[in-house]
């Protein structure tokens, strides 16, 4: 059962990761006005691969912990992975910079709460969430700065699709 | 803590539901060749509102159950909500009929496994998942039939965006 639990958490992360493969950056993103501290495109899938592995392992450790905050921790984990899956289609699919910022704000809060619950349940699980919290904070700052610079101006393709 | 757990599950459902509001059916979907048993567009948000409430309550009941399969059930619940969040952007956003079918197949399996784990943890929680399993089965048949009739032929808007 322990293995099945890990596979379920990893599968949820893979569903979230699939959005990155399917709604990746392209001409629209490349042509946006971005701050000088924007990471190169190749860094995102590398960072997310490491982060998804860490958060799947963290969830698995909490699931095995028998802690009193196990149920709360896993409920918050489910919330953050759903928001994580949502962000990429909103930002890259709909090209909604402000919509992406709203989702990222909710994601950041859910990751913070999950980290707190995980630290209470299993300290290593909580530590495994710290890089994720740091990355989502950074991504939020980046999303904010890109929105501030560009407003919400989707490309013709996205507009046509959204209005379809 | 019980209320926070419910809010987390409901929030995850709202993240999944947001995809339906943002990537809704439009001209592209309306013009697809669909079987005679395709439900009217208005039925989908109505059905999903009821289903999301039911599966949030089901998850909350399992989280409160103290059952031995609590952790497995919540891990599977996280998997199905991530896949649920993924389907709409793939089908309506990328207009990938076959891609949608693959996601729906994975979603169906995850809902089946969650239902089984929930039935073992709390019979009412399991029962609350039965309409969801039935609807995803129906949606899978519909997605399959639409793919069979139309192949994968995204509209110009989606193509431009995907290739961007």
CB-CB neighbors (< 8 A) of A8 in chain B: 72, 75-76, 78-79, 110, 113
Average pLDDT of span A116-131 = 98
DSSP 8-state assignment for residue B152: S
Residues sharing a CB contact under 8 Å with residue B88, sequence separation 6 or more, in sequence order: B19, B20, B23
Contact of B9 with A76, CB cutoff 8 Å? no
> So what's the pLDDT on residue A25?
86
CA neighbours within 13 Å on the CB side: how many for A31? 8
Say whether the ipTM exceeds 0.95. Answer: no
Q: Where are the domains of chain B?
A: 1-150
Q: Is there a contact between B68 and B117 (Cβ–Cβ < 8 Å)?
A: no
**Interatomic CA distance for residues A59 and A118, integer angstroms:** 8
Which of A74-83, B98-107, B120-129, B146-155 has the weakest average pLDDT?
B146-155
Give yes or no for residue A154 having a pLDDT over 80: no
**pLDDT(A158) > 60:** no
Q: What is the mean pLDDT of chain A?
A: 93
Degrees to nearest 5, angle at CA B31 with B19 and A87:
15
SS3 B69: coil
If one looks up domain B1-150 in CATH, what number appears? 1.20.1260.100
**Are the C-beta atoms of residues A118 and A73 closer than 8 Å to each other?**
yes
Hey, are the CB atoms on B164 and A156 less than 8 Å from each other?
no
Between B45 and A157, the more confident residue is B45
| Mean pLDDT (chain B, rounded) | 93
User: How do residues B51-86 score in pLDDT, each as one tens digit?
Assistant: 999 999 999 999 999 999 999 999 999 999 999 999
Angle subtended at Cα B74 by Cα B71 and Cα B78, rounded to the nearest 5 degrees: 135
Q: CA A30, CA A79: separation in Å to the nearest integer?
A: 30
From A32's Cα to the closest Cα of chain B, the distance in A is: 13
* Tokens, residue B66: 């103290």
> What pLDDT band is residue B113 in, cutting at 50, 70 and 90?
very high
For a pLDDT cut of 90, what percent of chain B falls above it?
89
Cα separation of B109 and B121, whole Å? 18
In this complex, do B158 and A161 lie within 8 Å of one another by their Cβ atoms? Answer: yes
Integer Cα distance of B32 and A131 in angstroms: 44
Q: Which of B32, B28, B17 is nearest to B145 (CA)?
A: B32
Residue B164 has pLDDT above 50, yes or no: no
State whether residue A40 sits within 8 Å of chain B by CB. Answer: no
Beta carbons of A8 and B82 less than 8 Å apart: no
Quick one: CA dihedral A138, A143, A148, A149, positive or negative? positive
């Amino acid at each position: 059962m322990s293995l099945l639990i890990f596979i379920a958490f990893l599968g949820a992360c893979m569903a979230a990761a699939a959005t990155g493969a399917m709604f990746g950056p392209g001409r629209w993103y490349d042509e946006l006005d971005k701050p000088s501290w924007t990471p190169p495109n190749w860094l995102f899938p590398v960072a997310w691969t490491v982060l998804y592995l860490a958060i799947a392992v963290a969830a698995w450790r909490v699931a095995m912990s028998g802690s009193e905050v196990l149920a709360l921790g896993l409920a918050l984990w489910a919330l953050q992975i759903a928001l994580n899956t949502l962000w990429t289609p909103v930002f890259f699919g709909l090209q909604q910079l402000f919509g992406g910022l709203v989702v990222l704000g909710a994601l950041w809060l859910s990751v913070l709460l999950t980290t707190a619950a995980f630290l209470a349940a299993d300290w290593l699980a909580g530590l495994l969430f710290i890089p994720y919290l740091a990355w989502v904070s950074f991504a939020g700052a980046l999303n904010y700065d890109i929105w501030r610079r560009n407003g919400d101006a989707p490309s013709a393709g996205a507009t046509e699709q959204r209005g379809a």
